[in-house]
A and B are shown apart, each in its own frame.
Chain A
Amino acid sequence: MAVSVADNPVLHIERLGKRFGSLRAVDELSLEVRAGEFVVLLGPNGAGKTTLFQMLTGLFAPDHGTALIAGNDIRRHGTAALAALGVVFQQPTADRDRSVLANLRFHARLHGMPASRRETRIAEALDAVGLTDRARDRLGTLSGGNQRRVEVARALLHEPKLLLMDEASVGLDPASRADLLQRVLDQCRHRGLACLWATHLVDEASEADRVVVMDAGRIIADASPERLQDQARSTTLADAFIALTRDKPAMRMSA
């Protein structure tokens, strides 16, 4: 049964900014993502997508602005915000020397999941990504696509309200990319999970509820894929993206 998009935003970002020296990596960025919504953050390399995710996960502090995850301010209530967040980073972050099961158990315990619930949730998460039969295998023996699926299972384990996918499909073959995308979409459609999926691959945006185009640290468009094409007067989403980012603004440098 499909879940409808809720009114209250799971992610609320207002005028968030981060600068490195004179470079404004994220510039006055405001954005909302609601429960059940699958939002693609589309931008070329260097647009500031990863910097935004680093701030949302508490790895870097914003210079200004606010970000709330499930109503928790990432600065003032960082641990509560992180508890509501599942993340798949651009670079692999799993222990390749340990089994799939050991990796998931490690994560479950870091999130304080009760022992009685832990094994059930691990079984459910592995089932959701179709890797039940590989649970006892060493992670390093799995293909790149399956390792990514383990990271998705891990990100979903503690039942987050918001899933951040930071170019998680990079390096995967087309079939694995499509599979990963579909599994995450299922979680949004059927579980009410909010997802912010960062990518520079336009084809991953076609099924999104909204496409947020980011360039040079700023949001330059935010609409459904169809509306985005209309706005850019393009016949395909790829053309719309190129049209929107063609006159790429120079990286914003502070005076």
Chain B
Amino acid sequence: MSPSHTLQAFAAISAREFERFVHQRGRLLSSLVRPLLWLAVFAAGFQNVFGVSIVPPYQTYVTYQVYVLPGLAGMILLFQGMQSSLSMVYDREMGMMRLLLTAPLPRWYLLLAKLTAGTLLSTAQVYGFLLVAWLLGVSFPALGWLTILPALVLGGLMLGALGLLLSVYIRQLENFAGTMNFVIFPMFFMSSALYPLWRLQESAAEPVYQLATFNPFTQVVELIRFAAYGQVNEVAVAAVLGWLVIFFATAVWGYDPQRGLMRRVRPAA
């Protein structure tokens, strides 16, 4: 596996992912419209209902729109991660996965290339969303535009790795609706994206609070939130890194014909 070969393969996989994204106008549009709807409609409507007290990294009261901004950036990463999962299942159904997995490169590298390409796409989408949010008057400190970059990449990789892992289990495109109901929605709503977690404790919803704290998506949101204000949330960094390793290693294991979950499926003779 020469460096030139690995770079070529990465460039080919990334270019294909990018091309597909650009050609799917609905996907391009929804990646921008979905978080903007939350920001311009939901957050605007609820800003007087959801009071947000001063919690780190904020040093003063912030509007509800400002509070949900990192959560909505995380939502883009979450949807893109699941989109990667959908893309893997689609490629498997269309036969492209066979072509990819029979390329003369280690399987982990091929999966990593897919994952990284998806993360680059989701990071670009977040910046597109932040730009429109800024035009609407919702933003964070100027330096935050730079300091969130590593947080977005790390969060995108972790949620993309979760998508890869799910694609091992999702055998057909039709089953993707289940992913929406049982993965995306619980992860999003049971996180600190829309409200600070102390609100759950205040409501005496202790089990939900515990689940929300354990939720990997909460850690992504907090990682982005702190990074936007030039701070590092060490717990979130460690948690996101840990989940990334677990999800990616399990996905690679799942795609390994020697040991993985794929072997349970019997091919046509």
Contact = CB atoms under 8 A, between A and B. Distances in A.
A25 B267 CA distance: 10
Interface string B255-269: 001100001001111
B170 interface: no
Interface in A89-132: 89-98, 105-107, 109-114
Interface in B36-71: none
B207 interface: no
B16 interface: yes
Most buried by B among A25, A59, A92: A59
A95 B106 contact: no
Interface stretch (A9-17, A44-52, A227-235): A44-52
B257 A79 contact: no
A233 to B, nearest CB: 29
Nearest to B4: A112
Contact of B95 (A93, A112, A113): A93
Contact of B104 (A46, A97, A111): A111
B34 interface: no
A61 interface: yes
Contacts, number: 93
A59 B12 CA distance: 21
Nearest to A20: B266
B contacts with A: majority SS = helix
B174 interface: no
A contacts with B: majority SS = loop
Given A95-B16, A98-B19, A106-B12, A83 B267 contact: no
A242 interface: no
A57 interface: yes
B9 A110 contact: yes
Contacts of B101: 58-59
B12 A105 contact: yes
A49 B98 contact: no
A94 B96 CA distance: 6
A50 B12 contact: no
B269 A110 contact: no
B106 A79 contact: yes
Contacts of A176: none
Contacts of B98: 57, 59, 89, 91, 93
Interface string B1-33: 110111011011000100110010000000000
A97 B106 CA distance: 27
Given A79-B1, A89-B95, A106-B12, A58 B102 contact: yes
A150 to B, nearest CB: 12
Nearest to B8: A109
Interface of B: 1-2, 4-6, 8-9, 11-12, 16, 19-20, 23, 94-96, 98-106, 257-258, 263, 266-269
24 contacts: A51-B267, A54-B267, A58-B101, A58-B257, A59-B102, A61-B263, A79-B104, A79-B106, A85-B102, A87-B102, A89-B98, A93-B95, A97-B23, A98-B19, A105-B12, A109-B8, A110-B9, A110-B103, A112-B2, A112-B5, A112-B8, A112-B104, A113-B8, A114-B4
Given A92-B95, A112-B4, A112-B104, 12 more contacts: A25-B266, A79-B105, A83-B104, A91-B95, A94-B96, A96-B94, A98-B19, A105-B12, A109-B8, A110-B9, A110-B104, A110-B105
Closest 5 CB pairs of A and B: A112-B5, A93-B95, A109-B12, A83-B104, A110-B103
